A and B are shown apart, each in its own frame.
Chain A
Amino acid sequence: MAVLRNARAGIMGAVILGLGRGLGETMAVTMVIGNNPAIAKSLLAPGYTMASVIANEFNEATSDLHRSALIEIGLALFIVTIIVNILAGLMVWTVTRGTPARTNA
């Protein structure tokens, strides 16, 4: 209990980092999610993720507008990643702050 409590923020940070990794995962999701461009009401219905939209449509996008839209999804994904990483970094930092940096002795 004492160990977990002290490491709480760090573990949360690691969880958020893992979340960020999963968020950006492209290929594994694209192959199984069904790639349906609609908001599904059921968790079991085909859906779409930001990354898999890009993966599926980018090579087939012919108009500049389509291409720009897909790159904007990429930008949104990038911004989300940065926010997630900053959050996780801050949480890990609150744990490691108190302890001295690893020495070379």
Chain B
Amino acid sequence: MPKRQIGLRRQMTDYFFTGLAASLSVVVVCTLVAIFAYLILKGAGSLNWSFLTQTPKPVGEVGGGMANALLGSIMILGIASLFGVPIGIGAGIYLAEYGRNRLGQLVRFTSDVLNGVPSIVIGLVAYGLVVIPQRHFSAFAGGVALAIMMVPTVARTTEQMLLLVPHAVREAAFGLGIPQWRTTIFITLATARAGIITGVMLAFARFAGETAPLMFTAFGNQFWSYSAREPIAALPLQIFTYAITPYDDWHRQAWAGALMLVILIVGTTTLVRFVFMRRMLGGAR
């Protein structure tokens, strides 16, 4: 159809809205770029070797680092995945393989709601469940709080990944007389393995940045702590604590910590996506 017949006005409208949609997508990208750029500007100067290897120094002394917070974050995430990942994967298997019924619907809805519960409320719940009976803050309590948040994410990702496995694969297994439980564990789950691992790693990256649920559970600590029964530092928590103090040196450390957290999270996410993409391409015969 010749352009002339469409009319200048309609053509202009088309250009305008296409341009609007395109520039709004650019805004999405720019937000991340702006955050990254600002963090590098503010934090790169304070990110050095002692930051990664030392514990915090008292106010007034220059130097020190967040090594204990790094270790704390790793410990809390480890405890969280110890509880959260098996429960999440188990629930995901149920939803994908047996969940075409009322109970499945209920579980799906519940996990969606749980996914939307504010993190601070999860922190309160973990406080009530773990900290009050034990009478002290601990890394364990922080792990429980993050585990509660991890379960719905891991469950829904596992379900999605298992549903991606072609039904013909299951039917082939049934045709060979393999019972359903063996099919699920050794065929469906094995096929979806790369996807499930990706989901778990992405959940990891997401909850590594959570501060609110750790405030009343892990509590934070200025010293080395290796025990799950003691209060422990966590990277996001330490950033928050430092950022709201009036000391310039601690502000610098907070910026450096934030930069490191973002690098860790973006790094994990990118790496996982890259590996997963390759697996997907390799798997598509």
Binding site for B on A (CB under 8 A): 17, 20-21, 23-27, 31, 51, 54-55, 58-59, 70-71, 74, 77-78, 81-82, 84-86, 89, 102-105
With contacts A51-B212, A58-B124, A89-B109 known, is A81 near B167, CB below 8 A?
no
B212 touches A55 (CB 8 A): yes
Pairs across A and B, CB under 8 Å, 28 listed: A21-B116, A23-B118, A24-B117, A24-B118, A24-B121, A25-B118, A26-B120, A31-B240, A31-B243, A51-B118, A51-B212, A54-B124, A55-B215, A58-B124, A58-B127, A59-B216, A70-B124, A71-B128, A77-B118, A78-B117, A81-B121, A85-B116, A86-B113, A89-B112, A103-B167, A104-B165, A105-B166, A105-B167
Instruction: For the A-B complex with A82-B113, A85-B116 known, give 18 more contacts whose Cβ atoms are closer than 8 Å.
Output: A24-B116, A24-B118, A27-B211, A27-B212, A27-B240, A31-B243, A55-B120, A58-B127, A59-B216, A74-B120, A78-B117, A78-B118, A81-B113, A81-B116, A85-B112, A85-B113, A102-B163, A105-B168
Bound CA–CA A104/B165 (angstroms): 7
A77 touches B121 (CB 8 A): yes
With contacts A27-B212, A59-B215, A82-B113 known, is A71 near B119, CB below 8 A?
no
B166: chain A residues at CB < 8 Å are 104-105
A71 touches B124 (CB 8 A): yes
Bound CA–CA A86/B243 (angstroms): 36
Bound CA–CA A54/B128 (angstroms): 14
Binding site for A on B (CB under 8 A): 109, 112-113, 116-121, 124, 127-128, 163, 165-168, 170, 211-212, 215-216, 219, 236, 240, 243-244
- Shortest beta-carbon distance, A103 to chain B, in Å? 7
Do most interface residues of chain A lie in helix, strand or loop, or is the interface mixed?
A: helix
With contacts A31-B240, A105-B166 known, is A26 near B212, CB below 8 A?
yes
A51 touches B113 (CB 8 A): no
Q: Which 6 A-B pairs have the closest CB atoms?
A: A24-B118, A104-B167, A26-B212, A26-B120, A27-B211, A74-B124
- Shortest beta-carbon distance, B185 to chain A, in Å? 18
B113: chain A residues at CB < 8 Å are 81-82, 85-86
Bound CA–CA A26/B116 (angstroms): 13
A58 touches B163 (CB 8 A): no
A26 touches B211 (CB 8 A): yes
Contact of B216 among A20, A21, A58, A104 (CB under 8 A): A58
Bound CA–CA A81/B127 (angstroms): 20
- Shortest beta-carbon distance, A41 to chain B, in Å? 26
Bound CA–CA A53/B118 (angstroms): 13
A31: chain B residues at CB < 8 Å are 240, 243-244
